A and B are shown apart, each in its own frame.
Chain A
Amino acid sequence: MGAIAIEHRVTKRDIPLIASFLLPGLIIFAFVIIFPTFLAIDYSFYQANSFAGDAVYVGMQNYVDVFLDPRFWRDLMKTIVYSGATVALQMAVGIAIALVLNQKFAGNNVLRGISVVPYIIPVIVVTIGWEWMLDTDTGIINHLIASLGLGKIKFLSTNMAMWTSVMLSTWTWTPFVTLVFLSGLQTISHEVYESAMLDGARKWTQFWRITVPMLKDIIITIVLLRGLWMFNKFDLNWLLTGGGPLEKTETLPILIYLNTFKQFKVGYGSTIAVISFFIMFLAMLVYLRIFRENQAKRKYLRRKSRNAEKGVALE
């Protein structure tokens, strides 16, 4: 009830207030988001060799070129692998940490604060710091590996660079998953677990049978947000490898950047940006469709069981 009660139908008296409150936001939103979006779509129909020079209208030619470019498809695959792997790892590590932090122990609050640290340090710090730690000759990680009697790992070699980037991305953005999942965990009451414990359910079973189903909505949202962000991720890969070695870590954002800001093929770069946004948008719609269907089904079942209960009560 509360959520509905605070909303007002608009009366004449409210109009000046609404207009003056809403207008600045709308103007800025239009200027920094809506207009640029349409401008990017507009750019994609032109061939231009710089930001300032003349552009030639080429219709759909840029789109044809992008779709015929094997580099685009290869980078799209890399982007999907990169975002898929990082999201999966972030979920696994983030949820594991959240489960630890949800227990009671001394220093818990401090550890919660500390666990956010990787998320709030600038990406440039992350890459420089880890590069130093992962260095083949002087890095502490390789030193520790060597002291275990194993061979050195060249973390930024052609074979490893993508996985190094996945590892660093996981490290940096895991706290987001941890924080959101932890806040979800705190909404589950202890009684549920206690009764499960009385029934002899093991921790592992409790997690899959109670925690995951109860936090399903949160999990779905985190996966969606993280997936979209990782798909668009530019800074970490760019700073760590610049797309190399041998274009092994070249994801779509890097391809866009190289085309637009290094070769100044502004139209072509915009075209890839527009296409990648539409791919992402479609993926999001499909994902939400699956999720919404599930939700509708659950609602239906809940209503059905409630009605059944009512039926019992009436009898």
Chain B
Amino acid sequence: MNEKRSHRIVLYILAFLVLIYSLFPIYWLTISPLRGENGFFAHSTNLLPTGFDLTFFHNILGETNFPVYYKNSFIVGIAATAITIVIGTLTAYVLTRYRFIGRSMMLNAMLIGYMLPPMLLAIPLLGLFIRLGIDDTLVALIISHISITLPFGVWMLVSFFKTIPFELEESSWVDGASRFTSVARIIFPLMLPGVISVAVFSFIVSFTDYTFGLMIVSSDANKNDPGRTCRHQGFYLAAARGHAGRSGANRHSDGSLILVRYSLLY
């Protein structure tokens, strides 16, 4: 009995360590900017929260272009996710349901596509965007995000769809439903959990992306006009110019929003 108890204690200590490991930096990023301009450096070694001063957060929202970057991030994230989901679901459905020549080749191509270095794609994509005249726009960013989310999305969806009992669909054909209605009414609800996971994944990838934003949107600094500028450069500028606390604050709010989204979905 005693041994069991010591096991328990060790387990809780380990669990506590996991908690600290995962959450301490977030905790620190939350309490540091809340100390306000006076306490930010003065209390920087105090482990407990020492103030509740919203000045930094207020500045970020009021005096910078942050709301615009935020809006842009959401537009790009939602558009990339929506396209990934719609196209990915259609493709994955066919790849799961039908056996035809080239099917496994397509699945492998999707996987290899996901393994391509972002650099290898970003260089020619930027070349293409310049030729099409859409470089430095949100559309370009959406397209480049899809180059990461679509291949992996299809791949994940196929593995989800493999577990769906598609016999249900056939019985609905017998009942006289058309192929399309049977997919929409019967199969789609079953697909939903997988689709949601892929949506969360795509949105996170797009929303947290820095690499493509840096290269596609702000590689040519002269071309940036604030209305179209994406958030990444904004982040970077804020980080370079601003107060460590200020940037800490906006970064954190970014992180916590994603967290809220994530926890809502699960």
Contacts and interface: CB of A to CB of B under 8 A. Distances in A.
Interface of A: 2-3, 5-10, 14, 17-18, 21-22, 24-26, 28-29, 31-37, 39-40, 43, 51-52, 97, 100-101, 103, 105, 107-108, 111, 113-118, 120-126, 128-133, 138-140, 143, 171, 175, 228, 231-232, 234-235, 238-239, 253, 256-257, 260-261, 266, 269-270, 273-274, 276-277, 280-281, 284
A133 B25 contact: yes
Contacts of B36: none
B61 interface: no
B146 A28 contact: yes
A32 B87 CA distance: 13
Contacts of A143: 44-45
Interface residues of B, number: 85
A5 B167 contact: yes
A199 B192 CA distance: 45
A37 B114 CA distance: 12
Given A122-B254, A273-B120, 8 more contacts: A6-B166, A29-B109, A52-B130, A117-B259, A123-B208, A138-B44, A140-B47, A143-B44
B134 interface: no
Contact of B32 (A21, A132, A270): A132
Given A18-B94, A133-B28, A234-B211, A124 B127 contact: no
A31 to B, nearest CB: 8
Of B98, B166, B207, most buried by chain A (CB within 10 Å of CB) is B98
A161 to B, nearest CB: 18
A24 B45 CA distance: 55
Given A100-B14, A129-B25, A133-B25, A33 B251 contact: no
A140 B44 contact: yes
B169 to A, nearest CB: 9
Contacts of B19: 111, 114
B211 A235 contact: yes
Interface string B123-137: 111111010000000
